[in-house]
């Protein structure tokens, strides 16, 4: 409250230098300092918190989706992967008719093993509910 009166006084003083102010103008200048009150500040901060929350939520969701087996274009496909730490992963790749086990770490990718015989995964049980819908949407989006 104290800062608002000071702001109104400064605006009134500046207005007095420009022209002789009428009472309506003086009241408008005093109320101009009160335009940004506590309510509007809290409303702005709540909106900002919602937006930041949405950004963090989407980042978390995209990171979780990154753990799904990807579909590669052409002859290169990611068959699966296991996280070994925060930044290290072991990934099984299908390159043509060969399967490679690679290690991925920050700044480096190494071939750990070239499999002589491809690993054949057992057929997955049909998914129901949300999982089935998501899988169908992902297949339509990738053109399979």
- Number of CB atoms found within 10 A of residue 89's CB: 15
Percent of the chain with pLDDT over 90: 25
- The per-residue pLDDT of the chain, averaged, comes to 76
Distance separating the N- and C-terminal Cα atoms of the chain: 65
Q: Is it the case that residue 27 has pLDDT exceeding 80?
A: no
Percent of the chain with pLDDT over 70: 61
Per-residue model confidence as pLDDT tens digits over 108-136:
999 999 988 888 765 666 667 887 888 88
Here the tokens at position 8 are 């109104």
pLDDT-based confidence at residue 25 (cuts at 50, 70, 90): low
Return the HEC string of 32-49: HCCCCCHHHHHHHHHHHH
Q: Is it the case that residue 40 has pLDDT exceeding 70?
A: yes
Q: Is it the case that residue 102 has pLDDT exceeding 60?
A: yes
pLDDT-based confidence at residue 97 (cuts at 50, 70, 90): confident
Q: Is it the case that residue 48 has pLDDT exceeding 80?
A: yes
User: Buried (b) or exposed (e) across 12-51, using 16+ Cβ within 10 A?
Assistant: beebeeeeebeeeeeeebbeebeeeeeeeeeeeeeeeeee
């Amino acid at each position: 409250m104290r800062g608002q009166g000071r702001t109104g006084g400064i605006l009134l003083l500046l207005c007095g230098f420009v022209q002789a102010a009428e009472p309506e103008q003086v009241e408008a200048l005093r109320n101009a300092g009160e335009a940004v009150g506590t309510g509007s500040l809290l409303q702005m901060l709540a909106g900002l918190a919602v937006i930041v929350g949405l950004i963090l939520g989407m980042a978390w969701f995209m990171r979780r989706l990154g753990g799904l087996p990807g579909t590669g274009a052409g002859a290169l496909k990611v068959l699966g992967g296991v996280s070994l730490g925060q930044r290290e992963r072991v990934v099984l790749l299908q390159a043509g008719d060969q399967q490679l086990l690679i290690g991925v770490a920050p700044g480096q990718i190494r071939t750990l093993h070239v499999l002589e015989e491809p690993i054949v995964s057992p057929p997955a049980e049909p998914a129901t509910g949300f999982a089935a819908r998501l899988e169908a949407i992902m297949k339509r989006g990738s053109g399979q």
